[in-house]
Chain A
Amino acid sequence: MNQNIKSEIGTIRIHKKVISSIATIAAKEVEGVARVGGSIKGFIYSLLKQNQAGSIDVNIDNNNEVSLTIPIVVMYDYSLPEVASRVQENVRKMIEKSTELNIKQIDINIQKVETKEGVKK
């Protein structure tokens, strides 16, 4: 499903994959995030050598509001609530800035804690 934005001369469609890609980049930017993924879905994507953006769930409701569920792996020695809320804020800011869409909710699933040696960005 795509997100439709009407302009004066036509319709702009933003695919869900675009939203999840922006969310992945924004989440990775946050200090303390080892990687995006870590869920079973993310593991399947990594086996298929696909972009981890696929592991993010994007839902668009009837009011054209976007809800995201982002699985992340956090680096050891960082406060989990702090990292999670910074990811929520950064993802919201980046999606709103890039797509001008309304964000309803950003849920974060912390799947794992890793040390620096185990990090593969």
Chain B
Amino acid sequence: MRVLTKLGIYFYTIIIVIIGVAMISLAVGVINAYEIAAFIHTFNITNIRLIMAFGGALLILVSLLFSQVIFTKIKREKTIAFQTPNGEVLVSLSAVEDLIRRTTIEVEGIKDARPDVIAGKKGIEVNLRLTLNDEINIPEFTARIQDMIKSRIQEMLGIDEAIIIKIFVAKIVTKEIKARKKKEIEQEETPIPFQGYKR
């Protein structure tokens, strides 16, 4: 499936590049519109017309198949599914992301969390982008966060699949920055005495 997707992407890239080059050539004047008309005029021979029609139909068919493959893949990979006696339960990956965001944001030392969850054949992969405070020991802290998220997902989803958690510390907010921001906000909010007082 992956090979097919890659081939499809290459195919469409080539088609789009050809269209782009043709448009630029027309605009610059490298290709003349009359030359194109004359070229199309040579297709009067029935066999060439048939080949062209067949080629066009094939292109449409390939496009439809490709879009179907892509959409099915997206749909399948956007949920985590498990079976119960009454039917199927699908958990949207955005629900799992919400869960992780809310769990991590409660932890002291984390300013912002942006999780991205991917469900594959190997299990669940969580890519977590964090903004942290500067007072913490990052290796120790992130290891604790990884354990916490793992147990939280297992507890909330009730699954035994492998959970891989990758943490990316994107930003560290220092106290100085926080204090400066707080001061700026305070200055903006400070009321001017007798403002609005008129005779």
Q: Which residues of A contact B (CB under 8 A)?
A: 67, 73-74, 76, 78-82, 84-85, 88-89, 92, 103, 105-115
Contacts and interface: CB of A to CB of B under 8 A. Distances in A.
A106 B90 contact: no
Interface residues of B, number: 20
A118 to B, nearest CB: 10
A114 B89 CA distance: 18
Contacts of B90: 107-110
A48 B150 CA distance: 39
User: Interface SS of chain B: helix, strand, loop or mixed?
Assistant: mixed
A115 B106 CA distance: 12
14 contacts: A76-B98, A79-B155, A80-B89, A80-B91, A81-B158, A82-B158, A85-B84, A88-B87, A107-B88, A108-B87, A109-B92, A110-B90, A111-B95, A115-B102
A79 B88 CA distance: 16
Top 6 closest pairs, chain A to chain B, by CB: A88-B86, A113-B98, A81-B158, A84-B89, A105-B87, A106-B87
Contact of A110 (B86, B87, B95, B158): B95
Contact of B82 (A74, A81, A105, A113): A81
Contact of B89 (A67, A81, A113): A81
B102 A110 contact: no
A110 to B, nearest CB: 4
Contacts of B155: 79
B104 interface: no
B1 interface: no
Contact of B84 (A67, A79, A81, A112): A81
A110 B96 CA distance: 9
A114 B94 CA distance: 11
A74 B102 contact: no
A115 B86 CA distance: 27
Nearest to A91: B86
Contacts of A115: 102
B116 to A, nearest CB: 16
A112 B95 contact: yes
